[in-house]
Amino acid sequence: MGLIIQRNWIIKPKINALGCKSAFFIWNLWIAKINSYFESDRRKMSDSSFASKLWASKIKEGGSRPILKRLRHMRILHTSDWHLGKHLEMHSRLPEQEEFIDEMEQICEERSVDLILLAGDVYDNSNPPAEAEQLFYSACLRLSKKGKRPIAVISGNHDSPERMRAAASLAALSGVVIIDSQGSKAAIGEYDGFSILDSDEGMLELLVNGEKAIIAVVPFPSEKRLNEIFTAPGHEEQIRKSYSEKVEEIFAALSAKFRDDAVNLAMGHFYINGGESSGSEREIQLGGSYAVEPKALPEKAQYIAMGHLHRPQAVAGLKNAFYSGSPIQYSKSETGYAKSVIIVDVHPGKEPAFEKVHLRNYKPVEVWKLGSIEEAIAECEARGAENSWVFLEVKTDRPLTPSEMKLMKSAKRDIVEINPIMDSVDADAGNSSEEKTIAEEFADFYLSLRGAAPSEELIELFLSISGEEDDR
Mean pLDDT of the residues in the chain? 82
- Helices 161-172 and 130-143 meet at what angle, rounded to 10? 40
How far apart CA 27 and CA 13 sit, in angstroms, is: 7
- Say which residue, 99 or 456, is predicted with more confidence: 99
Contact 312, 340 (CB under 8 A): yes
The answer on pLDDT for 40 being more than 70 is no
The answer on pLDDT for 37 being more than 80 is no
pLDDT computed for residue 464 by the predictor: 79
The answer on pLDDT for 267 being more than 80 is yes
How far apart CA 190 and CA 401 sit, in angstroms, is: 65
The answer on pLDDT for 437 being more than 90 is no
pLDDT computed for residue 288 by the predictor: 53
Contact 345, 51 (CB under 8 A): yes
pLDDT per residue over 178-191, tens digit each? 999 888 889 899 98
- The arithmetic mean of pLDDT across residues 325-347, rounded, is 95
How far apart CA 182 and CA 106 sit, in angstroms, is: 32
How far apart CA 198 and CA 189 sit, in angstroms, is: 9
Q: Which of the residue ranges 66-75, 148-157, 384-393 would you say has the lowest mean pLDDT?
A: 66-75
User: Phi and psi for 113 in degrees, rounded to 5?
Assistant: -70, 135
pLDDT computed for residue 465 by the predictor: 81
Neighbours of 67 (CB within 10 A): 10
pLDDT computed for residue 28 by the predictor: 54
Q: Which of the residue ranges 77-86, 288-297, 352-361 would you say has the lowest mean pLDDT?
A: 288-297
Residue type, 226: L
> pLDDT category, 56, cuts 50, 70, 90?
very low
pLDDT computed for residue 59 by the predictor: 30
The answer on pLDDT for 14 being more than 60 is no
The answer on pLDDT for 46 being more than 70 is no
pLDDT computed for residue 424 by the predictor: 58
Of 203, 215, 168, 183, give the one whose Cα is nearest residue 74: 215
The answer on pLDDT for 350 being more than 50 is yes
- Helices 456-466 and 438-450 meet at what angle, rounded to 10? 120
Distance of CA 267 to the CA centre of its chain: 13
Contact 203, 185 (CB under 8 A): no
Residue 430: strand, helix, or coil: coil
- Say which residue, 410 or 434, is predicted with more confidence: 410
- Say which residue, 237 or 207, is predicted with more confidence: 207
The answer on pLDDT for 132 being more than 60 is yes
- The arithmetic mean of pLDDT across residues 11-18, rounded, is 42
> pLDDT category, 392, cuts 50, 70, 90?
very high
DSSP letters along 64-131, please? --------S-EEEEEE----BT-EETTEE-HHHHHHHHHHHHHHHHHTT--EEEE-S--BSSSS--HH
